[in-house]
Amino acid sequence: MPPPAEQLTTSEQPLDFRGMRISPEELEENGDGVLAILPNDQVVELLEWMRVRIGHGGATVGGTSSGEEWGYRVVRQAPSGLYARMQQFLGAVAQVRAERIAAGKRQKRWDSIIHVVGHEALTCPEIAAEAVEDGWLTLLRDFRA
């Protein structure tokens, strides 16, 4: 089970996974819309790396200070289709963030999200591109080989 938000620490160092470096400043600048498109064979490895590095993981990985598993459940239960799932996931992110702000909980650096969105995003980059174009996600970098 992921640690509570208060137990997660903020790192000033960039994330570094297989040469993929994303600085905390880039995460903050791009907010909730960072999408990393990775080759299929790197997804499981990245999920495990994120779980160890940040404290949690799932079919969708959010590098959030909340450290909860709601992102995984939302994506798995959302309507079929990557675009619909991304919309619903980002809506859940906004709702959780609003609840945290209303409760007076301080927003932390890891509330910026790295999305690794299922195999559809990996095999159908044009769908991911559509979501980027419509403003749901910011494609920070394309990490495919």
Domain residue spans of the chain: 21-142
pLDDT at 20 over 50: yes
pLDDT at 90 over 50: yes
Specify burial of residue 6 (Cβ count, 10 A radius: 0-12, 13-18, 19+). Answer: exposed
1 pLDDT tier (thresholds 50, 70, 90): very low
88 pLDDT tier (thresholds 50, 70, 90): low
Q: Please, are residues 138 and 30 in contact by the beta-carbon 8 Å criterion? A: yes
Looking at residues 121-141, what average pLDDT do you find? 48
CA-to-CA dists, residue 68 to 48, 56, 143, angstroms = 15, 7, 26
Of 90 and 74, more confident:
90
**Structure confidence by residue, pLDDT tens digits, 22-67:** 555 554 454 443 444 444 444 445 545 544 544 433 333 333 333 3
